[in-house]
Structure 1
Amino acid sequence: MAHKLALIGFGGVGKGFVEILRDKKMKLKKDHQIEFKIVTITDLYKGSLHHPDGLSLDEVLKAIDENGSLDAYPEQPGLIRGWNSKETIEKTNADSIVEMTYTDVKTGQPAIDHCKWAFLHKKNVVMTNKGPVALAYNDLAEQAHANGVKWFFEGAVMSGTPALRLPKMTLTGNEINKINGIFNGTTNYMLMRMEEGLEYDEALKEAQSLGYAEADPTADVEGYDVLYKVLILANVVLGIPLKREDVYCKGISTMTTDDIKEAKSLGKRWKLIGSIQKTKEGVKATVQPVMLDLDDPLAGVTGAMNAITYSCDLSGAVTLVGAGAGIKETGFAVLIDLIAIERER
C-alpha cells in the first residue's frame, strides 16, 4: 500500500522533493518495495490541491513551472482546492505530513502548531524546519510518542548530510563527549574568501550574489543559524535540554583582514564553530569564530560546505563532511526520513 503524503509549504525544496519522488519512483519500488503518493499540497502563496487517490506529479510540476501556481493544475473529479494548512492536517487522508514552511527561528511558528495538530490527528511529521526542533524538542517528541507517530527532521541540521542519523544509528554505544561543527555555508564561504584577500563587506556581497546569503544576512553572520543547530544537536543527540540563553553566541560580523592575517601568521585558520562539550562543571555550548590548527579536519572544509566532528570515547573523533544546504540535498533529507518511517511500519 502506498504511503500517502501531504506537503505543507511548496517552495524550492518542496518542488525539488516532488521531482525526486517522480524520478526515483521506479527505483524505490524495485529496490525497497516502497511507494509514496502525494495526496495534498498546500502553500500560502501558490494555492492548494487535494485528491484522496493522489495528485499527478507531472501536472503539479507543469503548473508551477508554467504559471507559478497550483491554480493551473487541471480539474478532475474528486479534486479539492483551497485548504489552508490546518484544514489540510485535519482533512487529508495522508499518513505523513511533510512540513516545509518558512523557518521562524524566534518563535518556531507556524511549524510548531503544524506538528501538534498532526500528532493529534495521528499523522507522522517529517520536516526540514529547524525552529520547532530547536525550540520545542522535548514537548513535541513527547506528543509524537503519546500519539504513536514518528517525527523526523534530518534536514534541519546539515540538509542531506546525515548529521543526526550518524550518531543515533552508527555511533551508538559510544559516549559522545564533544561535538564541533561548521554548520553555516555562508559564513564558511565568506571566511575562505577573506583569507584569499577580500574585505568582510566584499565577501558578504559576493556570498549574496551567489545566493549563499540572504538580502538580510543577520541569521548567518551573527551566528543565529548555527545557534539553533547547536540546540538541536544538544537536545537530540546528547539529550541535554539546552535553551538559547545557555549558548554563548558570536558571529563573524566584526572580523577584519587583520584577524585573518593573525591566524595565517600562526599557521591557523578561522572557522565559525558551533560547539557542545561535556565538562566537569557541566555542559559548555558556544557559537564563535575559532582559530583552528590546519591539521584539524574542520580547517580543511572550504566553500559553502558543512562538517561535524563527533568526539567519542570508543571510536575516537569521527568527522562527517557534506552539503549543508541545497534544494536537492534537502529534498533527499526528507526522502530518507520517509523511508525510515516506512521501514518501521
Structure 2
Amino acid sequence: MNIAFIGFGGVGQALADILHERKELLKQEYGLDTNVVAVSDVMKGAVYDPKGLDIPHLLETAREHGSVEGYEHAQEYGWDSLQTIKESNADLIVEVTFTDVKTGQPAIDHCVAAFENGKSVVTTNKGPIALKLDELQKLANDNNCFLGFEGTVMSGTPALRLPKTTLMGNEIEEVVGILNGTTNYILTEMEKGLSFDDALQQAQEFGYAEADPTSDVEGYDVRYKTAILSRYIMNEPIDALEIPCQGISHITQEMIQEALEYGQRWKLLARVKKTAEGIEAVVQPERVNIEHPLAGVQGATNAILYECDLSGPIMLTGAGAGLKETGFALLIDIIHGHQANHKNSYIAR
C-alpha cells in the first residue's frame, strides 16, 4: 500500500513513526505492507519518491529543519496537496491538514480529489465528516475507495467502530458522551478549588487547551462530534450548527461546590437520542449524579455511553486526544481499509 501524507504535523509524524516501528508486525499479522511515497504540507513543503521514502530520514529532516524538502534523493519536490494526490502513485491518502471545521476545507477538496482519482482516504478532520459524510461516502463507494474517520470523535478510542461491529444487533437508543478532554480537565480541577480562569490557564500550560480555547470551552468542538455520531451511529443527519450548544465558560466555583453538596458533578455532555418525533441532539453542561458511570470520568479523559436495548448500557473510555493516540486511530482505519479491500460497510443513504 503506497501512502501519501497531506499534512505532516504532529499527528502525521506520529503515524509515520508507528508505520515504521510496526512495519514487520503489520506484514505478519495483517498482510499489510505500507510504503510512504509522498508528503505535502503547506508549512513543511513537499517531497515525492514513487519507490518510497525512508521514514527515519524523512522524520529527522522534518523535525530538525522544519521542512521535508531537505530530504535527499527524492524524485520531486514542491508539489502542492492536489498535485500530490493526483500525480503520485499513492493508493491511500492520509488527510491530516489544518482544516476549518466550519467549512471542512481544504480537507473536503482533498477527499474529493482522492476519490475521483481512485485513492482511498483516512482522516481525523471533523469538518468533512460532520458536513459532507453522505456525499463523500457515495463518491468513495462509486470509485471503489475506502473512507476512514475513526479518529474524528475520540481519537484512538474506537467510539465509531465499536457500535458498528461489537454492538451489532442492538438498537442504540441514546448516545451520551464526554467528548472534549479540555473541558473535562477544567471541570475536574475546579472541583479541587480552582476558578474557571485558573483551571483554563493550567490546561493551556499542560497543552490540553489551545491559546484560543473558544472551540473547546464553548462546546463547538463537541457539537461537530455530535453531528458525526448522529449521522454515523443513529443514521440521522443533523446540521451541526442546528444542534443546541452551550459551553462551560459560565460555570462558577459556587456552582461546582453546590453540585458536589448534592452528590453531583458538572460534565459537558453530548447527547443524541431517538424519540417518537425523531432524533434529538444537544451539547450542554449537566449535573450528573455521582453514581452515574460518566461522573467518575476525570481529567482529560473522554468517555461515551451507548444505551442499547439488548446489551444494556455499554461505556467506552480512553484518550480523546494525543499525537500517538490519534496516529493509532489512523492506523486502525488503514488496517480496516486494507481488510475491506477498499470497500466500506457504511453505505450513504
For 2:65 and 2:278, the matched residues in 1 are separated by 55
What is aligned with 1:38? 36
TM-score (norm 1): 0.97
1:193-342 aligned at under 5 Å gives the runs: 193-342=189-338
What is aligned with 2:122? 126
- Letter matched to residue 300 of structure 2: A
> Alpha carbon RMSD of aligned pairs, Å?
0.9
- Letter matched to residue 89 of structure 1: I
Query: Does the 8 A contact of 1:224 with 1:249 survive in 2?
Result: yes
Query: Does the 8 A contact of 1:249 with 1:286 survive in 2?
Result: yes
For 2:242 and 2:218, the matched residues in 1 are separated by 16
What is aligned with 1:64? 62
SS state at 2:69 partner = helix
For 1:126 and 1:281, the matched residues in 2 are separated by 34
For 2:92 and 2:39, the matched residues in 1 are separated by 12
For 1:337 and 1:127, the matched residues in 2 are separated by 9
Q: How many residue pairs are counted as aligned between the two chains? A: 341
Q: In the alignment, is residue 24 of structure 1 matched against residue 22 of structure 2? A: yes
Q: How far off is 1:31 after superposition?
A: 2.1
For 2:258 and 2:131, the matched residues in 1 are separated by 37
CA offsets 1:86-112 (integer angstroms, 9 cap, x no match): 101110111111100013111000001
What is aligned with 2:6? 8
Query: Does the 8 A contact of 2:174 with 2:272 survive in 1?
Result: yes
Q: In the alignment, is residue 154 of structure 1 matched against residue 150 of structure 2? A: yes
Structure 1, unaligned stretches of length 5 or more? none
Match of 1:172 among 168, 174, 179: 168
Query: Does the 8 A contact of 1:176 with 1:312 survive in 2?
Result: yes
For 2:272 and 2:255, the matched residues in 1 are separated by 24
Query: Does the 8 A contact of 2:226 with 2:240 survive in 1?
Result: no
Match of 2:103 among 82, 103, 107: 107
For 2:20 and 2:277, the matched residues in 1 are separated by 52
Query: Does the 8 A contact of 1:246 with 1:285 survive in 2?
Result: no
- Letter matched to residue 320 of structure 1: L
- Letter matched to residue 70 of structure 1: V
Query: Does the 8 A contact of 1:178 with 1:310 survive in 2?
Result: yes
- Letter matched to residue 141 of structure 2: H
Query: Does the 8 A contact of 1:267 with 1:294 survive in 2?
Result: yes
Indicate the percent of aligned positions where both proteins have the same amino acid: 52
For 1:16 and 1:217, the matched residues in 2 are separated by 24
For 1:149 and 1:65, the matched residues in 2 are separated by 32
SS state at 1:5 partner = strand
SS state at 1:160 partner = coil
Query: Does the 8 A contact of 1:46 with 1:69 survive in 2?
Result: yes
Query: Does the 8 A contact of 1:105 with 1:130 survive in 2?
Result: yes
SS state at 1:71 partner = coil
TM-score (norm 2): 0.96
